[in-house]
């Protein structure tokens, strides 16, 4: 009996060790990808921040609401851009952002532009109308793609296909903290009261044309920024998840080795007792 259980324990230790090797390797890959993604986030953040604060100031000081990007429409047709990852095994990264987006979509006439395989699968299986499935691989989307997405969105928005555009992504706060966030992109809503009072803005050539040209740029920039944040968050989440998996494997191996040694010792003791008793 003791012999069978030592063999079983041995097998379990061996399988645990191979799992640990995999999680360890994944952690290392995620760590090196994280370093690159983190550098990209830090580089793109000033752009993201300055772009959004500039647009906010312009909108807050704006008096001419003839541009379609500034008019609030009464309908509740909304388009969500949802950014998730391509692969699982990243802790709660995918499920957190998808759950948040899903809760937001509830009760609205929504369509989704998913970026990343997990987002595409999630919304497809829930039969949500998808605007396009072109962006299956979140890792391959570059600045150019972000601007094509923004062109597509602004064209559909101007054509009146939806009344609101929102984005759901994961904010990379630090290596240990990533928070899923949603944000409204269109229409542009003036934030707070106008502080500068009577300041007028000169639009060159005129307000409608300026907004027509700037808003797609703004959208593209925001999507790119959100994508950079999400990518870094994904790698960070995966790294943390794989790190704790490796630790768990270590603990279990230690536990099992102890059991194995005890069982082996018990078997030896029993054998000795039998021999002594027989003599």
Residues that bind other proteins (CB under 8 A): 43-44, 46-47, 50-51, 54, 57-58, 61, 143, 147, 196, 199-205, 209-210, 213-214, 217, 220-221, 224-225
* Three-class SS state of 115: strand
Comparing CB distances to other proteins, the nearer of 8 and 64 is 64
Strands (E), 33-177: 77-83, 109-115, 129-130, 164-172
Q: How far is the CB of 155 from other proteins (least distance, A)?
A: 15
Comparing CB distances to other proteins, the nearer of 112 and 227 is 227
Comparing CB distances to other proteins, the nearer of 25 and 213 is 213
Question: In 3D, which of 181, 220, 221, 185 has the Cα closest to residue 101?
Answer: 181
* Three-class SS state of 71: coil
Dist CA 226 CA 104 (whole Å)? 18
CB 64 within 8 A of CB 212: no
Altogether, the residues listed in the chain come to a count of: 279
Q: How far is the CB of 200 from other proteins (least distance, A)?
A: 7
User: For the residues of 159-181, what is the DSSP string, one character each?
Assistant: TTS-SEEEEEEEEE-SSS-EEEE
Question: In 3D, which of 125, 229, 217, 107 has the Cα closest to residue 168?
Answer: 229
Q: How far is the CB of 130 from other proteins (least distance, A)?
A: 23
Dist CA 69 CA 72 (whole Å)? 8
Q: How far is the CB of 40 from other proteins (least distance, A)?
A: 9
Q: How far is the CB of 59 from other proteins (least distance, A)?
A: 10
Q: How far is the CB of 229 from other proteins (least distance, A)?
A: 13
Comparing CB distances to other proteins, the nearer of 133 and 209 is 209
Comparing CB distances to other proteins, the nearer of 65 and 203 is 203
CB 84 within 8 A of CB 138: yes
Comparing CB distances to other proteins, the nearer of 22 and 143 is 143
Q: How far is CA 198 from CA 61, 63, 250, in A?
A: 9, 10, 66
């Amino acid at each position: 009996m003791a012999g069978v259980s030592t063999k079983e324990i041995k097998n379990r230790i061996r399988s645990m060790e191979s799992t640990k090797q995999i999680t360890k390797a994944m952690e290392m890959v995620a760590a090196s990808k994280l370093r690159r993604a983190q550098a990209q986030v830090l580089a793109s953040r000033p752009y993201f921040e300055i772009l959004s604060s500039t647009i906010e100031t312009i909108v807050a000081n704006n008096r001419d609401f003839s541009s379609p990007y500034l008019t609030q429409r009464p309908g509740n047709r909304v388009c969500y851009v949802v950014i998730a990852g391509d692969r699982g095994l990243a802790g709660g990264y995918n499920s957190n952002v998808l759950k948040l987006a899903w809760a937001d979509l509830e009760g609205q006439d929504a369509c989704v532009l998913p970026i990343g395989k997990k987002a595409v699968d999630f919304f497809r299986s829930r039969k949500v109308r998808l605007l396009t499935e072109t962006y299956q691989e979140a890792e391959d989307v570059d600045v150019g793609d972000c601007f094509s997405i923004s062109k597509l969105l602004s064209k559909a928005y101007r054509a009146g296909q939806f009344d609101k555009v929102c984005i759901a992504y994961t904010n990379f706060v630090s290596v240990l903290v990533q928070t899923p966030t949603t944000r409204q992109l269109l229409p542009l809503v003036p934030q707070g009261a106008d502080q500068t009072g009577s300041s007028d803005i000169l639009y060159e050539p005129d307000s409608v044309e300026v907004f027509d040209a700037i808003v797609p740029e703004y959208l593209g920039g925001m999507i790119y920024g959100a994508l950079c944040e999400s990518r870094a968050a994904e790698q960070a989440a995966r790294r943390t998840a794989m790190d704790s998996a490796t630790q768990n494997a270590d603990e279990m191996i230690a536990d099992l080795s102890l059991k194995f040694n005890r069982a082996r010792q018990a078997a030896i003791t029993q054998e000795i007792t039998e021999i002594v008793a027989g003599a």
